[in-house]
Structure 1
């Protein structure tokens, strides 16, 4: 049974990420009666899930409630509108956890007061219990509070704590946005397969299953990625021929350097 203090676990925003976290909490033993979801327009499926779990739902922040943990799962662009109404939910013992990209702890505290705060960046594989989350806690977060937050975050995968808040922007660029890069890799592989003569639907199935299978192998294997790559690559073979292009001076690494830098810069811009 997960524990998170004397007040309810308040989830603000029950969209894809918030909904994925909520599902994980319920599966791991958090009682629905201890959860309060604040969302003006939850989906029909989410409304049914809340009713089935016995969780309370409000369209806006209710009066007379002090959160044990206040979990902010709203889009960064909505934070200016949403945060002021949430201040009454924050008490001296409340832990505030935000998954909004780019929004700094100082920004959150400017709306909610000097609370114990954690910035976290999960990614969309959390929806299937295979995500990874980078997290940073401010100095007001105690060891016990940090552990409580980690228990909530790790229902969707491992949690990696970073030493500085600035690192969260890099985490956002690598793992937060990273699933989109992998999905685009599938698109590119499938299109290249089509151009090589395969039927488009067959090329897509091959690319999709290859990336999914390689990810599972990486997940299960004790070897690092470079070792697994070398295991596939026979000297002078077909894989080596392809890697001579992908690993060239103008290949994937400099392209990814630029992509990650662009995502990190955008995360920093979202703070303003």
Structure 2
């Protein structure tokens, strides 16, 4: 597969790294910054150029990996040379309808990835209109599976839904890890030891949840004994409304995703 990335930032680099391991693809990157081009060439042995190619072929894939605020200009520059190529956009917020206007093409797949893609543990939600064929969907799936797991969404609004869960979800997890590390330091551990203990605790808990057939609520209850230490901590979380705050925050995240989509998808 011939794949051209427009933009060579962190997420593009993660995907390029994952794809490069297979040896099945020809990859080039359009990146304005010379130092970043040099880094991409050295790290991944890909072709990195400063200017948009003069023409794409219909059997190519173009991955839009630029900031949402710059996507309109990139699409308008890409439109005359696109040549019917499949477009895969990982830019947050921008709706397919807007990209279709700018590109003059409906052959578009939207993707919401997340940052654990940088270590091959990403979660990506994908959406394409009904007129995007199975081969194009398969190509987009293969690209994103190079950095983790994928799920196809039935409606474009599903991009907003998955943003509130896996797209922004790593930040929720990091926030909880950060809080636990601070608690461990207050308990008397050195910060490096606190970090090591908390990360190992998360690793173990996630693996147990993955392997166990029990609901996570049951796993949590299994750690608690009546009148014990864990119960005291959970009671404080409940009294402070931690669970409801997390749920409300996720819903605020989704609402902002919808707002950004409307704002950034205007002409």
Q: TM-score scaled to structure 2, two decimals?
A: 0.88
Is the alpha carbon distance of 1:222 and 1:15 closer, same or farther for their aligned partners in structure 2, counting shifts above 3 Å? farther
Structure 2 unaligned blocks of 5 or more = none
Give unmatched runs, 5+ long, in structure 1. none
Matches within 5 A, 1:47-196: 47-50=41-44, 52=45, 55-66=46-57, 68-92=60-84, 94-196=85-187
Q: Do 2:87 and 2:107's aligned partners in 1 also have CA atoms closer than 8 Å?
A: yes
2:110 partner SS: strand
Residues 222, 99 of structure 1: alpha-carbon distance in 2 compared, 3 angstrom cutoff: farther
* Residues 180, 198 of structure 2: 8 Å contact kept: yes
| Compared CA separation, residues 229 and 28, structure 1 to 2 (3 A) | farther
Shift of 1:192: 1.9
**SS in structure 1 opposite 2:122?**
coil
**Equivalent position SS for 1:132:** strand
Aligned to 1:253: 243
CA distance in 2, matches of 1:223, 1:56: 48
Contact 2:110 2:127 in 1 (8 A): yes
Provide the C-alpha distance between the structure 2 equivalents of 1:153 and 1:71, rounded to a whole number of angstroms: 11
Cα-to-partner distance string for 1:218-243 (whole Å, 9 max, x where unaligned): 34545443343233333433222212
> CA 1:38–1:216 in 2, change beyond 3 Å: closer, same or farther?
farther
Determine if contact 2:6/2:31 at 8 Å carries over to the other structure: yes
Deviation at 1:39, TM superposition (A): 1.1
RMSD: 2.1
How many residue pairs match? The answer is: 259
State the SS of the aligned residue for 2:53: coil
What TM-score, normalized by structure 1, do the two folds share? 0.86
Corresponding residue of 2:40:
46
State the 1:16 CA deviation.
0.8
Q: 2:3 aligns with which of 9, 13, 19?
A: 9
Distance 1:154 1:111, change over 3 A: same
